[in-house]
A = this chain, B = another copy of it.
Amino acid sequence: MANLDICRDCAVRDQALCASLSDTELAALNTIGRRQSVGRGETVIWAGDESIVCANLLSGMLKLVAATSDGREQIVGLLHPADFVGQAYAGLADFTITALTDAELCVFPRAAFQRVLEDHGRMERLLLQRTLAALSDARGRMLSLARKSAEEKIADFLLQMALRASGTGCRATPDGPLTFDLPLTRGQIGDILGLTIETVSRQMTRLKGAGVIGLPGGRAVTISDRSALEMRARAA
């Protein structure tokens, strides 16, 4: 049965919640999980719908979106490979979850997953720790959204992206300029930072004009003067 092999070649076997399970315990999950692909832009969970699935994100990136009744939107979280998707112990989904890129999920029925969780204290503890980290992250972001200027938000964001890209990005010298591709459109950056497309664009242009960053074209960004960028992101 292919299902039994589902975890053997799992890209995130050691980073996802499953890392807390032994090979034999994994068999239990195997029987209830299934792989699922979603295309860029596809929505995995709609806010308000019954929260019936949980999943591990295998590849790609998802966004959690909160929206007002009149259509204003705010990205309230990003999910990366190995992150847990969905809300255990919740009746209705609070946020809409949509794929930012093509993505692959390892999906479980929520009720069944919850049962596994209850039987495996180590796994539940891992989920608790991740949830606590997500909570701290969300609260830190509240400070940014409410109190930082557009320039601070953009500078901060670029530094974070640089950090995440420093593995894949290309740089000439260890501490020299770093170039990488932003995996997001200006609009998506705005949705994350609580800004409009135009403001994002203008701030980028402004940083470029100040010689702090370069915009070689396409979706690429070069951090020419990291410490200057850090100054502009000063607000912790």
Q: Which residues of A contact B (CB under 8 A)?
A: 64, 66-70, 72-74, 76-77, 87-90, 94-95, 118, 121, 124-125, 127-129, 131-132, 134-136, 138-143, 145-148, 194, 234-236
Contact = CB atoms under 8 A, between A and B. Distances in A.
Nearest to A152: B68
A139 B194 contact: no
Contacts of A131: 128, 131-132, 135
16 contacts: A64-B139, A68-B148, A69-B236, A76-B139, A87-B132, A88-B132, A89-B129, A94-B139, A95-B139, A124-B128, A131-B135, A135-B135, A138-B138, A142-B145, A145-B145, A146-B146
A141 B70 CA distance: 17
Nearest to A90: B132
A134 to B, nearest CB: 6
A236 B124 CA distance: 32
Q: Which of A69, A70, A142, A145 lies at the interface centre, i.e. has the most chain B CB atoms within 10 A of its CB?
A: A142
A143 B67 CA distance: 7
A124 to B, nearest CB: 6
Given A95-B136, A145-B194, 15 more contacts: A68-B143, A68-B148, A68-B235, A68-B236, A72-B143, A74-B142, A76-B140, A76-B142, A77-B139, A88-B132, A94-B140, A128-B128, A135-B135, A138-B139, A141-B142
Nearest to A235: B68
Contact of A128 (B69, B89, B235): B89
By Cβ-Cβ distance, the 3 closest A-B pairs, closest first, are: A146-B194, A68-B235, A76-B139
A234 B67 CA distance: 12
A87 B136 CA distance: 9
B146 A145 contact: yes
Contacts of A77: 139
A124 B66 CA distance: 28
A19 to B, nearest CB: 16
Contacts of A141: 142
Contacts of A70: 234-235
A211 to B, nearest CB: 24
